[in-house]
Amino acid sequence: MLTREENERLCRVGPGTPMGETLRRYWIPALLSEELPEPDGPPVRVRLLGEDLVAFRDTSGQVGLVDEWCPHRRASFYWGRNEEHGIRCVYHGWKFDRTGRCLDMPNEPPESHFKDKVRLQAYPTWEAAGIVWTYMGPPELQPPLPDYEWVRAPKGFVWVSKTLEDCNWIQAMEGGLDTTHSSFLHNLNLQNFRAPRTQSTAPRLVVEKTDYGYRYFSLRELRASGQRYIRGYHFLMPFQQMRGETVDFHTGQPANPPSLNGHLWVPLDDTHTAVYNWMQSVDPNRPISEEEWIAQETFWGRGPDDVLPGYRLKRNRSNDYLIDREEQRTRTFSGIKGVNTQDFALQETMEYPFSDRTKERLGTADAAIIAMRQLLLEASRVVETGGSPRGLDPSTYRQVRAYDLMIPADQDWEAIRERMLAVF
């Protein structure tokens, strides 16, 4: 269990908090590129690490990410005019470019130099893999750009989506790093006793810390078939999980399409999280079609018919996630449709504003969660003392990928390591 101080340290992400300052040392997703479809289009509100921001795509097609509040009289730039390489406040006409430089103060005398003394808080941005990334930390400490394999993959070989989750980022991320819950919460057929995660509900976990976070392995012994199901994951600082989907974990058969998947749990503030979901082809000669991507999104519960405008799920806390108690009694473990929706139901309804970890009782199945907490607490203390946290150097993670496979029970499971190398 954690102390109350450690729990607060992990969960609070606003400016000036230990974890907030740590997260600001990384490039992090701010929004999807699709949210700003055209130059000089409408600006978009962005909540990130407890800050209210506005994003806009300027005349050149570059994305600006700036403080929502005009430095004049604190009006919102959400109402602003996005025009001619800048955003103009509609209250008094003050205009700023995407770097925060004031371009015009039409309500000041022409001879005034006041506009040269005023700047708008602005954060640098970079676009890749359908995501607008930003860096919110000290400019002199800005790290290299992210270089994950899925970010390098060509168009058609990687797909990305976003869903908004109403809970603290740590309890959301803990769900993604917890491999054993899938045997229960995500059991979609109570009668399928041959499914790998039904045969083996208590896998052995191996967790190995690295310069970028850790890699961990889930080993499930399938005695009925004489096989072993191995899954190699990665946790990349500060909030990303990578996992393999070459085996269908409900059937044990080859997945269609075989893929790599993951999430980034980006804190909007202490009680809201943006979950970025990605899917990458395993094979550089085999792209993933849009139809395959939509089918997977639908399976996870975030397909076109599952998501409301604004990236919120239709099945949510307000309607009890449309739980079907008869379905739960007769067919599935949870009675909730959609694998990720099942996760949301458990994570969003924990204690508010975040889970009281001083009351937990953790076991061997929680090894990956314990390691994640240790790494984040370590990182926050390193940053406090002027150091650099893990995971800033792309060379430490550039060649990693996740993988899963079925092997004979008598085969050395560590052979999976040979397949956990990037090919893009």
Eight-state DSSP code of residue 400: B
Question: Tens of pLDDT along 141-179?
Answer: 999 999 999 999 999 999 999 999 999 999 999 999 999
Listed in sequence order, the DSSP H helices in 224-365 are: 290-300, 325-330, 339-348
* pLDDT value, residue 92: 97
* pLDDT value, residue 223: 86
The distance from CA 53 to its chain's CA centroid, rounded to whole angstroms, is 19
Q: What sign results for the dihedral spanned by CA atoms 330, 331, 333, 339?
A: negative
Write the CA distances from 162 to 264, 283, 296, 312, 347, integer angstroms.
9, 24, 14, 9, 17
Instruction: Give residue 195's pLDDT band: very low, low, confident or very high (50, 70, 90).
Output: confident
* pLDDT value, residue 29: 99
- Which tokens belong to 30? 């701010």
- pLDDT at residue 249 greater than cutoff 80: no
Q: What is the mean pLDDT of residues 42-52?
A: 98
Cα distance between residue 280 and residue 159, in whole Å:
7
The distance from CA 271 to its chain's CA centroid, rounded to whole angstroms, is 15
What whole-number percentage of the chain has pLDDT above 90?
94
Instruction: Give residue 315's pLDDT band: very low, low, confident or very high (50, 70, 90).
Output: very high
Cα distance between residue 402 and residue 213, in whole Å:
14
Question: Tens of pLDDT along 318-349?
Answer: 999 999 999 999 999 999 999 999 999 999 99
Residues paired with 132 in a beta bridge: 31, 127
* Of the candidates 111, 110, 106, 109, the residue with the CA atom closest to the CA atom of residue 72: 106
Q: What is the mean pLDDT of residues 90-102?
A: 98
Q: In sequence order, which residues have a C-beta less than 8 Å from that of residue 356 and are 6 or more positions away?
A: 7
The CB-based long-range contact list for 310-315 (8 Å cut-off, 24+ gap) reads 310/164, 311/162, 311/163, 311/164, 311/274, 312/163, 312/164, 313/163, 313/338, 313/341, 313/344, 315/341, 315/344, 315/345
- Which tokens belong to 213? 């976070």
Instruction: Give residue 198's pLDDT band: very low, low, confident or very high (50, 70, 90).
Output: confident
Cα distance between residue 255 and residue 410, in whole Å:
23
Average pLDDT, the chain: 96
Q: In sequence order, which residues have a C-beta less than 8 Å from that of residue 70 and are 6 or more positions away?
A: 76, 77, 89, 91, 94, 120
* pLDDT value, residue 148: 98
* pLDDT value, residue 33: 98
More confident of the two residues 250 and 118: 118
DSSP output for 2-38: --HHHHHHHH--STTSHHHHHHTTSEEEEEEGGGS-S
Length of the chain: 424
* pLDDT value, residue 8: 98
The full set of domains in the chain, from first to last, is 27-141 (2.102.10.10), 149-419 (3.90.380.10)
What whole-number percentage of the chain has pLDDT above 70?
100
